[in-house]
Structure 1
Amino acid sequence: MSVFTQALKDLESSQKPQRGVSLYSRYVNRPLGRFLAAACHTVGMSPNQVTAASAIVTLLGLALLVTGPPSVARSAGVVLLLVLGFALDSADGQVARLTKSGSPAGEWLDHVVDAGKHVSVHACVLVALFLYVDTSPWWYLAPLLFQVVATVIFAGGLLVDLLKRAQPTVASPEPRPPSIVRAIALLPADYGILAVSFLLFAWPPVYLPVYTLLLVANIGIMILLLRKWFHELRG
């Protein structure tokens, strides 16, 4: 059995729980990340190197977005690079579990890259709109607000996890089977869906309403999650 095949087999039995993730992450990003993790392990990449690759690929996708006017080819390239960067973001943790080489430094690096990604993608939407799209300046408010919402959701989820680790007396909800309804409801908040939505950026009059709908859905999800996290920590 080849190193790649063995790694893929080992990873299939060491996946994170499916509860609390959207259908995209469950059926697209994690399986793609598993394949990439096996490939990265085969060529000897460390988890931190995979994290760095994820950051580089994502930056290339965002650079492509802001360096020219919208077109079908550009939109497709942006989607390809952002989806690949997101899958590599899943792969770094899988490589760490496969090689038992996870570390606080690696986890920190992964979170720093994620934080930068969540802010940068909406900043680049704003720049691309300003430079290349003839539209009302009111649309610029959407990426500015999306930055705030994405940051609050990311920081809120990260902090609630850290506080639960630091205070074992904080009770976690009883584990329940993964819910298809919840997995569908979380789709708008999945970075992968945001990445795929750039396919429509070649047609700004179509993209902007879709992007705004994603923003509205994320605001709703943020409110529900903040309420849930607050009550969990308050006990």
Structure 2
Amino acid sequence: MSQIESTYKAKDVEEAIDRAFYRPVGYTIARMSRALALSPNAVTLISIAVGVTAGHLFYYSHLTVNVLGMILLVTAEAMDSADGQLARMTNTHSRFGRILDGFGGNLIFISIYLHLCLRVVHEGGPLWIFFVAVACGASHSFQCAMADYYRNAYR
């Protein structure tokens, strides 16, 4: 087993995009974080800040700003991979870290849904878009929680 594969969850629950992109990038971030003596929870908090900022950038109707938001979102997702990989590398995983990780993912997507709704309303769209966003957000949160539960139960 290679060093990077030792930071994976069970191989059967890793998604193709994770194996091809997020795990290799996350591994690099995890190694840098370990060299900087950052804890997995610190990496999680940084990823939350980056992701919430990404969500805010989707409020604006400027393509360059939106592309920057997309880049920040991908960066936050790579850091989300890195925090778990760092925890496995340093054997510092914790229940609090898992909770923080899930909470952070919800905060990031709340930011995205909220800012997209604000953009729609600001541009003359209907207020009921917020109800659609709440339904989508609840569904998204439930799906993420179930997927995470089964990934952890399968290990």
TM-score (norm 1): 0.56
| 1:56 paired to 2:49 | yes
Where in structure 2 are the equivalents of 1:164-203 lying within 5 Å? none
Deviation at 1:54, TM superposition (A): 0.5
Residue 30 of structure 2 corresponds to which residue in structure 1? 37
- Structure 1 residues without counterparts, runs of 5 or longer: 1-8, 165-171, 176-235
Q: Secondary structure at the match of 1:10?
A: coil
- CA displacement 1:79-106 (0-9 Å, x = unmatched): 0111101110110111111111112222
Q: Distance in 2 between matches of 1:134 and 1:57?
A: 28
Provide the aligned C-alpha RMSD in A.
Answer: 2.7
| 1:92 paired to 2:83 | yes
What residue identity is the alignment partner of 2:68?
A: G
Deviation at 1:62, TM superposition (A): 1.5
- CA displacement 1:132-159 (0-9 Å, x = unmatched): x345x38825433321210221233455
Match of 2:117 among 126, 129, 136: 126
Contact 1:119 1:151 in 2 (8 A): no
Bigger mean CA deviation after superposition, 41-50 or 142-151: 142-151
Contact 2:54 2:112 in 1 (8 A): no
- CA displacement 1:94-123 (0-9 Å, x = unmatched): 111111111222222212212322333222
Contact 1:126 1:144 in 2 (8 A): no
What residue identity is the alignment partner of 1:93?
A: G
Where in structure 2 are the equivalents of 1:151-230 lying within 5 Å? 151-158=141-148
Q: Paired residues, what number?
A: 153
Deviation at 1:10, TM superposition (A): 2.8
Deviation at 1:14, TM superposition (A): 3.1
What residue identity is the alignment partner of 1:102?
A: H
TM-score (norm 2): 0.82
Q: Distance in 1 between matches of 2:151 and 2:76?
A: 24
Q: Secondary structure at the match of 2:12?
A: coil
| 1:104 paired to 2:82 | no
| 1:143 paired to 2:118 | no
Q: Distance in 1 between matches of 2:124 and 2:108?
A: 26
- CA displacement 1:183-213 (0-9 Å, x = unmatched): xxxxxxxxxxxxxxxxxxxxxxxxxxxxxxx
When residues 19 and 125 of structure 1 are mapped into structure 2, their CA distance, relative to the original with a 3 A threshold, is farther
